[in-house]
Amino acid sequence: MIHHISIAAQNPLRVAQVIAEVLKGQAFPFFPHPGSYMVFAMDEQGTAIEVYPLETKLIPGEGDDQCQFVQSNTANGMTATHAAISVPSSQEEIEEIGKREGWRVLRCNRDSFFDVIEFWLENKVMLELLTPDMTAQYKAVTSPENIKRIFMANPILASV
């Protein structure tokens, strides 16, 4: 269970507001780091997404100190980091929100296993959104029995 993830955005407030809309949740200022926001799905698992300014980096603390926030001028926003998130919104609602924001939205099939909607925040950070129907498909494919069957059937994958 992943309870929260963090991403960086050029306009953290706007991105947080849009994510909250898609999740049918709520965005709040993230008090430990001014200019950052936390979006809560308002579900029983406490699902959340932290949205930081693009220049923010997390670095390890020294000794017993927790992680630290630092600013960097080298960020361009593109990243391999992404998340697949089940949302209560329909494909039509997601497409409408993306169109309004000017962000890329594309329904995709992942190698005939399951469908997702690529939702590109600020056209830089991808969220794979799963509507309720897509969530059922994803969960069926990723059940422990199916994962074992899919990966154990391939000797190269099974040896990892």
21 CB contacts (<8 Å, ≥6 apart)? 97
pLDDT of residue 157: 59
Residue ranges for the chain with pLDDT beneath 70 = 1, 75, 77, 155-160
CB 135 within 8 A of CB 113: no
Note the Cα 150 to chain centre separation in Å. 25
Q: How many residues are recorded in the chain? A: 160
List the one residue out of 98, 10, 2, 81 whose CA is nearest residue 52: 10
Give me the pLDDT at residue 155, please. 67
